[in-house]
Amino acid sequence: MLLTGFFTLGVASLALAARTPVRRVVHESRRSLPTGWTPVRRAELDLVVPLSIGLVQSNLENLEAYLLDVSHPDSPNYGQHWTPAQVADAFRPSQASVDAVRSWLVKEGQIDADRITVSKSGSWILANVTVREAEELLGTEYYVYQHGQDGKEHLACHQAYHVPKHVSKHVDLITPTLHFDTKITRHAITAPLDSAKDIGKVSRPVTGNVIHSIFNDLEQCDEVITLACLRVLYDFAYVPVAINKNTIGVVEYTPQSHNASDFDAFFANFSRTQVGERPKLVSIDGGVLVPSTDPNAYAESSLDLQYVLGLIGTKRQEVQLYQVGDPVEGASFNNLLDGLDQSYCTSGGGDDPTQDGIYPDPQPGGYGKDDCGIVRPAYIISTSYGYQEADLTPAYMQRQCAEYGKLSLTGVTFVYSSGDAGVGGRQDVVPGHKVTQPESAVFQRFPSGGGFSNVFPRPAFQEKAVSTYLTKYPPGYAPNIYNASGRAFPDVSANGLNYSVAINGQFRLVSGTSASAPTFASILSAVNDARLALGKKPVGWINPAIYSEAFNGAFNDITNGSNPNCGTQGFLAKPGWDPVTGLGTPNFPKMLAKWLLLP
Ligand SMILES: *[C@@H]1O[C@H](CO)[C@@H](O)[C@H](O)[C@H]1NC(C)=O
Ligand SMILES: *[C@@H]1O[C@H](CO)[C@@H](O)[C@H](O)[C@H]1NC(C)=O
Ligand SMILES: *[C@@H]1O[C@H](CO)[C@@H](O)[C@H](O)[C@H]1NC(C)=O
Ligand SMILES: *[C@@H]1O[C@H](CO)[C@@H](O)[C@H](O)[C@H]1NC(C)=O
Ligand SMILES: *[C@@H]1O[C@H](CO)[C@@H](O)[C@H](O)[C@H]1NC(C)=O
Ligand SMILES: *[C@@H]1O[C@H](CO)[C@@H](O)[C@H](O)[C@H]1NC(C)=O
């Protein structure tokens, strides 16, 4: 049992005598511990921790309105994206926030002013403090938690932390506090999962099927997906013309890697004219290709890159590979975002050590810098890695979500996979069906991630679509089973089962929303190409457009299948939007026509 309450006696009596207690409010709290972690002891009070206080950015309350102004199809400013400098100026934390936090640390925390620094970006206030000081400051208790499986220890505070009310409005989040060491997982699945506890873990060795003969034959699309199958499914035939203006990026987190000779094996069989083509490596925080003989280590990158290159379909269009993290420390979404946006970058501290890679990395072989705004983001960025919502704190997620919004203001589109574990994503050609028959949601081995957020409320752009689903097809679960008021997902879908991928010279079947994301991203990139060729802007944040009346019919509606998990059949795919396949899979000619009508 853990002790609750603000202080243990020994600590509090001495410290509190000296000053007037301040009224504090809960700043962040955690409902339950992430799976596998148990508290084993109180943290030593003299232990020094790098306290990082993230300041709230200015103007975030206006972010959605700014985004709608450039992304809603009815807006006269559609496509008038901002420059990165405009974004940085609009959201920079105010001097009032810096002052409020600094004075709280000095006056109430009795931390000498010379121990406190402000990060270069002006977004983080940093101080090395003892656990004792942190506990007093935050009205919490720190414990050492241990992971049941690997015995790894982690320092975190219990249940909640507090800050004075007048300070709370200036603070985004504080680390280290509640956040846990749950590493991101890639979504590609190369072997069947045999029990629920394996979901989201990547430690299982691969036994993915090796295919000995290559089908280029569309008759086989129900068993093996190839470039040709995807082109037929989505009516996707397009030759890029704006190759010098358009950009697309694919994100991979080290140690996930690939073997470059596999591109040629893949192209030799599926897209002959592309033999010799490679992505352009953009290394962020020491990202490198780590050689491996384990197909599992190559599955995600090989899948993503072979399909993006193959679907873009020409040597002349550059595909950027954002390889993030050195092989020692690894990396997470915030490291990517730091590399893309100088104004968000937490250089000098501020990344969450329990979640993100901390750079410079002092470990042997570690990368000695912290990459900050080193590359202008591509127009479309595909990512097939994910977390479980329950493993992160709301403040951590909201901060990151705002950053995706800021980059979207500059015209960037992020395509993320929705997960492969059902209500808790992917479409396929049903066994025995022809590629020209309607698709069905994957229901057998890897149900699509879909459902409702417990953190983000339903946004206005999906109000009509989601309320229509819930009214016409009530899921029939008790209100505590899913949160009908939350942001519903996915938005769209694409085939994700049994893609043929070359891995270390052999062709294997790889499945997951990991496959859907790069496929959708590649098709969207062709839309950008066509718009850029006409002197228009890239599509940017697509949600308000695709959910609008103007895009009726732009997607192939998937009306069969479900996403079972948690002992339920999950949600059912139905006509219109549904929490299994979203609005549906791309119908390229229709999507393109709609986007070319917009300014
Ligand atoms: C905290 O301590 C580390 C290690 O000594 C040091 O590198 C860092 O600069 C210190 N941070 C602050 C804000 O003083
Ligand atoms: C891929 O194409 C090459 C060249 O045509 C061929 O030799 C090879 O057998 C094919 N791969 C498989 C697995 O069939
Ligand atoms: C996918 O591949 C597996 C293994 O080869 C096969 O059993 C299955 O029928 C294929 N197709 C579908 C739609 O699952
Ligand atoms: C349901 O989602 C909303 C956000 O839309 C959130 O505020 C609320 O706490 C969630 N309810 C539960 C029980 O998690
Ligand atoms: C890459 O694959 C080729 C065979 O396709 C193999 O000969 C080579 O050893 C592989 N390289 C690495 C680094 O895995
Ligand atoms: C619809 O899904 C069910 C499983 O839920 C499957 O048995 C059936 O073959 C699918 N039908 C079509 C037309 O895809």
Q: What is the 3-state secondary structure (H, E, C) of 322-338?
A: EEECCCCCCCCHHHHHH
Assess contact for 228 and 219: CB atoms under 8 A: no
Among candidates 191, 186, 229, 227, which has minimal Cα distance to 210?
191
For residue 392, what pLDDT is reported? 79
For residue 188, what pLDDT is reported? 53
Mean pLDDT calculated for residue range 350-366: 77
Residue 390: C-alpha distances to residues 291, 330, 387, 394 (Å): 33, 21, 8, 9
pLDDT tops 90 at residue 186: no
Domain boundary among 121, 141, 175: 175
In angstroms, rounded to a whole number, what is the distance separating the alpha carbons of residues 321 and 305?
Answer: 8
In angstroms, rounded to a whole number, what is the distance separating the alpha carbons of residues 210 and 193?
Answer: 17
For residue 362, what pLDDT is reported? 80
pLDDT tops 70 at residue 566: yes
For residue 475, whether the previous peptide bond is cis, meaning omega lies within 30 degrees of 0, is: no
Q: Is the CB of 439 under 6 A from ligand 3?
A: no
pLDDT tops 50 at residue 441: yes
In angstroms, rounded to a whole number, what is the distance separating the alpha carbons of residues 418 and 187?
Answer: 8
Of all protein residues, the one whose alpha carbon is nearest to atom 9 of ligand 5 is 504
430 part of a folded domain: yes
Residues 144 and 267 in one domain: no
Judge whether 578 is annotated as a binding position: yes
Residues 276 and 417 in one domain: yes
Which atom of ligand 1 approaches the CA of 128 most closely? 1
For residue 63, what pLDDT is reported? 97
In angstroms, rounded to a whole number, what is the distance separating the alpha carbons of residues 552 and 95?
Answer: 46
Q: Which of 504, 506, 508 to mutate to test the pocket of ligand 5 (most atoms within 8 A of CB)?
A: 504
184 part of a folded domain: no
Residue 366, number of CB atoms within 10 A of its CB = 17
Write out the catalytic residue numbers. Answer: 300, 304, 514
Q: Is the CB of 48 under 6 A from ligand 1?
A: no
Residue 72: C-alpha distances to residues 83, 378, 460, 542 (Å): 18, 21, 11, 8
For residue 352, what pLDDT is reported? 66
Residues 229 and 286 in one domain: yes
For residue 181, what pLDDT is reported? 52
Torsion of Cα atoms, 299 then 303 then 304 then 305, to 10°: 100
Residues 242 and 212 in one domain: yes
Give me 200's structure tokens.
């989201």
Find residue 129's DSSP bridge partners: 49
62 part of a folded domain: no
Of all protein residues, the one whose alpha carbon is nearest to atom 1 of ligand 1 is 128
The region of weakest confidence among 167-171, 426-430, 507-511 is: 426-430
Mean pLDDT calculated for residue range 358-371: 87
How high does pLDDT run on average in the chain? 85
392 part of a folded domain: yes
Assess contact for 370 and 285: CB atoms under 8 A: yes
Mean pLDDT calculated for residue range 375-399: 87
Note the residue count of the chain: 599
264 part of a folded domain: yes
The region of weakest confidence among 24-28, 118-122, 586-590 is: 118-122
Q: Is the CB of 507 under 6 A from ligand 2?
A: yes
DSSP 499-539: EEEEETTEEEEEBSHHHHHHHHHHHHHHHHHHHHHTTPPP-
3-state secondary structure 413-451: EEEECCCCCCCCCCEECCCCCCCCCCCEECCCCCCCCCE
Q: Of residues 428 and 363, which shows the higher confidence score?
A: 363
In angstroms, rounded to a whole number, what is the distance separating the alpha carbons of residues 71 and 413?
Answer: 11
Residues 130 and 208 in one domain: no
pLDDT tops 80 at residue 436: no
Q: Is the CB of 457 under 6 A from ligand 4?
A: yes
Judge whether 576 is annotated as a binding position: yes
Residues 317 and 350 in one domain: yes
Using the mean position of ligand 6's atoms as its centre, give its distance from the Cα of residue 560 in Å.
6
Of all protein residues, the one whose alpha carbon is nearest to atom 7 of ligand 3 is 223
Of all protein residues, the one whose alpha carbon is nearest to atom 2 of ligand 5 is 504
Per-residue pLDDT band for 202 (boundaries 50, 70, 90) equals very low
pLDDT tops 80 at residue 435: no
Give me 141's structure tokens.
């208790």
**SS3 label, residue 106:** helix
Give me 57's structure tokens.
């950015």
For residue 524, what pLDDT is reported? 98
For residue 445, what pLDDT is reported? 55
In angstroms, rounded to a whole number, what is the distance separating the alpha carbons of residues 259 and 552?
Answer: 41
In this predicted model, what pLDDT tens digit does every residue of 251-298 receive, in sequence order? Answer: 999 999 999 999 999 999 999 999 999 999 999 999 999 999 988 899
Residues 391 and 463 in one domain: yes
Give me 461's structure tokens.
């752009």
Q: Is the CB of 214 under 6 A from ligand 2?
A: yes
Q: Is the CB of 428 under 6 A from ligand 3?
A: yes
For residue 19, what pLDDT is reported? 44
72 part of a folded domain: no
Residues 171 and 201 in one domain: no
Residues 513 and 396 in one domain: yes
Torsion of Cα atoms, 386 then 391 then 394 then 398, to 10°: -20
21 part of a folded domain: no
Find residue 161's DSSP bridge partners: 28
Using the mean position of ligand 4's atoms as its centre, give its distance from the Cα of residue 513 in Å.
25
* Domain region containing 344: 197-355+375-597
Assess contact for 518 and 304: CB atoms under 8 A: yes
Give me 389's structure tokens.
């919502």
Of all protein residues, the one whose alpha carbon is nearest to atom 10 of ligand 1 is 128
Mean pLDDT calculated for residue range 409-438: 69
Residues 145 and 210 in one domain: no
The region of weakest confidence among 15-24, 348-357, 510-519 is: 15-24
Domain of 451, CATH number, reads: 3.40.50.200
For residue 343, what pLDDT is reported? 80
Among candidates 81, 129, 73, which has minimal Cα distance to 105?
129
Mean pLDDT calculated for residue range 167-193: 67
Per-residue pLDDT band for 532 (boundaries 50, 70, 90) equals very high
Judge whether 535 is annotated as a binding position: no
For 70-141, strand residue ranges (E) read 117-118, 124-130
Phi, psi angles (nearest 5°) of residue 519: -65, -50
In this predicted model, what pLDDT tens digit does every residue of 300-344 receive, in sequence order? Answer: 999 999 999 999 998 788 999 999 999 988 888 999 999 999 888
The region of weakest confidence among 23-27, 49-53, 561-565 is: 561-565
Domain boundary among 140, 175, 210: 175
pLDDT tops 60 at residue 238: yes
Q: Which residue type is seen at 350?
A: G
Residues 119 and 229 in one domain: no
Judge whether 557 is annotated as a binding position: yes
Assess contact for 135 and 150: CB atoms under 8 A: no
For residue 149, what pLDDT is reported? 72
pLDDT tops 80 at residue 427: no
How many domains does the chain fold into?
Answer: 2
For residue 309, what pLDDT is reported? 98
Which atom of ligand 3 approaches the CA of 445 most closely? 14
Among candidates 188, 185, 208, 233, which has minimal Cα distance to 294?
208
pLDDT tops 70 at residue 196: no
For residue 399, what pLDDT is reported? 86
- Burial class for 306, CB neighbours closer than 10 Å (0-12, 13-18, 19+): buried
Using the mean position of ligand 3's atoms as its centre, give its distance from the Cα of residue 253 in Å.
28
Residues 157 and 248 in one domain: no
**SS3 label, residue 273:** helix
pLDDT tops 90 at residue 244: yes
Q: Is the CB of 130 under 6 A from ligand 1?
A: no
Q: Of residues 124 and 215, which shows the higher confidence score?
A: 124
For residue 444, what pLDDT is reported? 54
231 part of a folded domain: yes
For residue 50, what pLDDT is reported? 87
Domain boundary among 175, 210, 228: 175
Per-residue pLDDT band for 2 (boundaries 50, 70, 90) equals very low
Q: Percentage of residues in the chain with pLDDT exceeding 90? A: 59
Between helix 84-91 and helix 394-409 the angle, nearest 10°, is 140
For residue 203, what pLDDT is reported? 25
In angstroms, rounded to a whole number, what is the distance separating the alpha carbons of residues 356 and 345?
Answer: 12
In this predicted model, what pLDDT tens digit does every residue of 119-177 receive, in sequence order? Answer: 877 888 999 999 999 999 999 999 998 888 777 788 899 889 999 999 999 998 898 88
Q: pTM for the whole thing?
A: 0.83
In this predicted model, what pLDDT tens digit does every residue of 446-501 receive, in sequence order? Answer: 677 889 999 999 999 999 999 999 999 999 998 888 999 999 999 999 998 889 99
For residue 191, what pLDDT is reported? 33
Using the mean position of ligand 6's atoms as its centre, give its distance from the Cα of residue 427 in Å.
12
For residue 419, what pLDDT is reported? 75
For 170-236, strand residue ranges (E) read 171-175, 185-186, 210-211
The region of weakest confidence among 5-19, 100-114, 399-413, 465-479 is: 5-19
